[in-house]
């Protein structure tokens, strides 16, 4: 038989354990709360939520926000029904006629491409050059506007996704290195006829390349694309590391400005400030 004093002691100990567990659970929930960024532009304010599934991009973006890197930068590339792009560090003091789009901080972020992160309207993606690792620019990013899709468009975009994937995996296939090296050498020597011949061989190879798992747009993504819109053909080729959770109408305002033939806005479109919101 358990005596009353021992029973009280056991109850007190159990209460402490339960309290500790509750505090631990509370801390875990707090730590897992998504990080949110307030992005103030001269066309309105966006609230962006960063994904924990892409920690390299998340942490890089956070550091740049804290350092004020994005404050006063321009949206230097805007394509209506596609996306708005910013992050060229030269754009802070650039005029409307300066050529932009080629500058960042000189390092790349390894790709963090996940099947469940996709280019719906409001998606925050990392811009990049056409490098074989699909590594991202240190500073340049884009926000998706896109357009509402239907089944026919989605099928077309799924084919485009797989064309991009075929090219990516073919480029990284050691068996294809001799052809790519020859093509690079021909370009360096400016042998236009040989470049034309080898390029045709490469294009034909990528059309039939099949050493990869073909991608199918998931049904859940299809429903979002048909209801909200987006740019499906970018899926699985670029890192999506966040999304706009407030201010989708601001994306439409940004994307609606007049641009020139180089997709450069003819009026100033700026990020006035960015800050991390308290949890």
pLDDT tens column, 233-265: 999 999 999 999 999 999 999 999 999 999 999
- With H, G, I as helix, E, B as strand and everything else as coil, classify residue 110: coil
Q: Please, what are the domains in the chain?
A: 34-147+229-276 (2.40.100.10)
Instruction: Copy the structure tokens of residue 168.
Output: 């990516």
Residues 275 and 38: beta-carbon distance below 8 Å:
yes
Cα 275 to Cα 30, 104, 138: the distances in Å are 19, 20, 18
pTM: 0.86
d(CA 78, CA 85): 6
Please, are residues 253 and 44 in contact by the beta-carbon 8 Å criterion? Answer: yes
Residues 6+ apart with CB under 8 A from 207: 163, 166
- Per residue in 109-147, pLDDT (tens digit) is 999 999 999 999 999 999 999 999 999 999 999 999 999
According to DSSP H, which parts of 105-218 are helical?
Answer: 151-171, 177-188, 192-208
**Residue entry with tokens 């994306």:** 251
- Nearest CA to 164 out of 206, 128, 119 is that of 206
């Amino acid at each position: 038989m358990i005596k009353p004093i021992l029973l009280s002691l056991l109850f007190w100990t159990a209460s402490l354990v339960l309290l500790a567990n509750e505090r631990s659970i509370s801390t875990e929930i707090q730590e897992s709360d998504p990080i949110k960024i307030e992005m103030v532009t001269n066309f309105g304010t966006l609230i962006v939520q960063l994904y924990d599934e892409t920690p390299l991009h998340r942490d890089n973006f956070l550091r740049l926000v804290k350092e004020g890197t994005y404050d006063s930068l321009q949206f230097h590339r805007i394509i209506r029904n596609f996306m708005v792009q910013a992050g060229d560090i030269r754009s802070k003091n650039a005029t409307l006629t300066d050529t932009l789009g080629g500058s960042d901080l000189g390092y790349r972020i390894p790709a963090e491409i996940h099947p469940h992160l996709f280019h719906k309207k409001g998606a925050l993606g990392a811009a990049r050059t056409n490098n074989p690792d699909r590594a991202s620019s240190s500073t340049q990013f884009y926000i998706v506007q896109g357009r509402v899709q239907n089944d026919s468009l989605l099928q077309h975009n799924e084919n485009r996704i797989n064309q991009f994937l075929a090219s990516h995996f073919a480029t990284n296939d050691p068996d294809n290195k001799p052809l790519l090296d020859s093509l690079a050498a021909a370009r360096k020597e400016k042998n236009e006829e040989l470049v034309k011949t080898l390029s045709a061989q490469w294009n034909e190879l990528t059309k039939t390349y099949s050493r990869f798992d073909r991608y199918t747009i998931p049904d859940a993504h299809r429903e979002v694309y048909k209801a909200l819109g987006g740019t499906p053909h970018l899926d699985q080729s670029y890192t999506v590391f966040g999304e706009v959770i407030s201010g989708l109408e601001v994306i439409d305002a940004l994307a609606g400005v007049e641009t020139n033939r180089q997709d450069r806005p003819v009026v100033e479109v700026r990020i006035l400030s960015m800050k991390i919101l308290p949890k």
